[in-house]
């Protein structure tokens, strides 16, 4: 079977499994809502960064992106679904590439739409406090936000292929993002800049310090994601369905 029909079948799975469109809807709703709240009262902060404030809803919203990637892969390990899939598509690498493409494209599109909407809503709440943000910075942050959310969804998808469980993946990644990055990360100094979430989030800031910039930070997140995807592809090829 060629790549296009395999991709089409994986896209049908994404569309018809209710939890997956639900996760993307949650990504949009949570990010937009939290950004709107931040935009309404964030300008009093002495370290106010209008760009990051407008997109700060990504911090809770990314949990939905991670859930989307994890559930898209974990559904294959329920009820012997993966055995049926591989019976139809014996080329495991081709199937895995199609699955990751089916995860990446909607995550990127919804991520870009979410970033545009969240920024517009939050900026309206900030009023003149956001006047210092240039058009180039806005475009970079919105584009970077969409790419970041896609990378986090793929990172979760790759890890799920290794762990073969969406619950296990979420049990690892959500505490990592909520605890390690915010608590241990602050104490770790510049090392924290190279964590997958912290590195990618640099693109959301107007100003930034440290060794990484917006695009190099996204490149670090992409390296983490690539490692997870390679490990996931190896697991799919080597382990029994």
Mean pLDDT of the chain: 89
Residue 172 structure tokens: 């690892």
Q: What pLDDT is attached to residue 207?
A: 84
Summarize pLDDT for 178-221 with one digit per residue, the tens.
Answer: 877 767 655 555 777 888 999 999 999 988 887 889 999 999 99
Considering only residues 85 and 163, tell me which one the structure prediction assigns the higher pLDDT: 163
Summarize pLDDT for 93-136 with one digit per residue, the tens.
Answer: 899 999 999 999 999 999 999 999 999 999 888 877 777 888 89
Q: What pLDDT is attached to residue 19?
A: 92
CB 199 within 8 A of CB 205: no
The 3-class secondary structure across the chain, one letter per residue, is CCHHHHHHHHHHHHHHCCHHHHHHHHHHHHHHHHHHHHHHHHHHCCCCCHHHHHCCCHHHHHHHHHHHHHHHHHHHHCCCHHHHHHHHCCCHHHHHHHHHHHHHHHHHHHHHHHHHHHHHHHHHHHHHHHCCCCHHHHHHHHHHHHHHHHHHHHHHHHHHHHHCCHHHHHHHHHHHHHHHHHHHHHHCHHHHHHCHHHHHHHHHCCCCCCCCCHHHHHHHHHHHHHHHHHHHHHHHHHCCC
pTM of the entire predicted model:
0.93
Summarize pLDDT for 220-233 with one digit per residue, the tens.
Answer: 999 999 999 999 99
Q: What pLDDT is attached to residue 38?
A: 87
Confidence of residue 42 (pLDDT cuts 50, 70, 90): low
Q: What pLDDT is attached to residue 186?
A: 59
Q: What pLDDT is attached to residue 90?
A: 82
């Amino acid at each position: 079977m060629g790549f296009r029909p395999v991709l089409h079948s994986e896209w049908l799975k994404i569309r018809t499994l209710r939890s997956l469109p639900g996760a993307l809807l949650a990504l949009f709703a949570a990010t937009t809502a939290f950004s709107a709240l931040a935009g309404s009262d964030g300008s009093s902060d002495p370290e106010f960064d209008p760009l990051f404030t407008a997109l700060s809803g990504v911090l809770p919203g990314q949990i939905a992106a991670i859930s989307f990637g994890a559930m898209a892969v974990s559904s294959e390990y329920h009820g012997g679904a993966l055995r049926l899939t591989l019976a139809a598509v014996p080329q495991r690498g081709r199937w895995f590439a199609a699955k990751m493409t089916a995860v990446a494209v909607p995550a990127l599109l919804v991520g870009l739409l979410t970033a545009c909407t969240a920024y517009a809503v939050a900026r309206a709440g900030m009023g003149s406090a956001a006047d210092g943000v240039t058009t180039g910075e806005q475009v970079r942050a919105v584009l970077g936000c969409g790419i970041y959310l896609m990378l986090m969804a793929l990172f979760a998808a790759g890890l799920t292929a290794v762990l073969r469980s969406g619950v296990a993946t979420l049990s690892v990644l959500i505490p990592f993002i909520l605890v390690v990055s915010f608590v241990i990360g602050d104490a770790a100094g510049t090392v924290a800049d190279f964590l997958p979430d912290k590195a990618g989030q640099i693109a959301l800031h107007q100003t930034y310090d440290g060794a990484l910039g917006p695009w190099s930070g996204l490149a670090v997140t992409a390296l983490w994601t690539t490692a997870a995807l390679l490990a996931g592809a190896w697991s799919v090829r080597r382990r029994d369905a």
